[in-house]
Amino acid sequence: MRRKLAAGNWKMNGTATALAELETLAAAGAQAQTDVLICPPSTLISRAAAISGSVAIGGQDCHANASGAHTGDISAEMLKDAGASHVILGHSERREDHGEADADVRSKATAAWSAGLISVICVGESLAEREADNTLDIIGGQLAGSIPDEATGENLVVAYEPIWAIGTGKVPTMSQIGEVHDFMRTQLEMRFGEGVGRSVRLLYGGSVKPSNATEIFAVSNVDGALVGGASLKAADFSAIITALDAA
């Protein structure tokens, strides 16, 4: 049985005052069926880890190297040392804003695993690729190129985030979400075997809100969500967690 996962990506949002939202979330207690993860800016990771209770804390990116002359970068070992247990890799905003390719994501995932972090690897298509009916080809290529061969259900989470739905308020139809999630499950089973392929949790991300969470979580092979803006407020994120716990 795959445990459900509600992951929040704060992106470049939040200073020390935002930790009050995390305190509120942590005070609500652990959900019986749901794991909860918050990925704040790196400046807040150590403080977040100190108050998070049952809520796991993650980074939003890491460097492929353990150390070195990489000004402004953070290694997986540094995230682990600060109290993180997870790291988001290959988010479309990293792929687009920083030119990250699948091979870069793959190297970072290997580094994350070496440091003992769980990697949340993101995949997703652009609107042009969706309209050209290339979605599954794009997702298949990203899965093959971004995930190292040593993947297991313990060190890997995969998040499907259609680029055109992130922060836009647009959400794919439930059949579109189901098609991609079923495809990802099949691809993982074919590559890693049925045991590993079925154990990897698959998240949906892209304008997930309390108002649409229940419908999304009813879709085949959706094991949770990677949530952006709605994770910044404990009330909104708690409502999403509640919907996931009831799914």
Q: Output the pTM of the full model.
A: 0.97
The domain containing residue 43 runs over which residues? 4-246
Residue pointed to by tokens 């020390």: 16
Which is catalytic among the residues 91, 100, 125, 181?
91
pLDDT for residue 30? 60
CB 40 within 8 Å of CB 70: no
Handedness of CA 238, 163, 41, 146 (dihedral sign): positive
- Looking at the predicted structure, is the pLDDT value of residue 214 above 90? yes
The active-site residue, picked from 21, 125, 161, 181, is 161
Rounded Cα gap, residues 135 and 161, in angstroms: 11
Q: Which two tokens stand for residue 55?
A: 């809520």
Query: Total domain count for the chain?
Result: 1
Max CA separation in the chain (angstroms) = 47
When pLDDT is averaged across residues 199-208 and rounded to a whole number, the result is 96
Q: Is the pLDDT of residue 184 over 90?
A: yes
Give the pLDDT score at 31: 60
Domain of residue 25, CATH code: 3.20.20.70
Q: Active site includes 161?
A: yes
Q: How far apart are CA 89 and CA 112, in angstroms?
A: 9
Tell me what percent of the residues of the chain surpass a pLDDT of 70.
Answer: 98
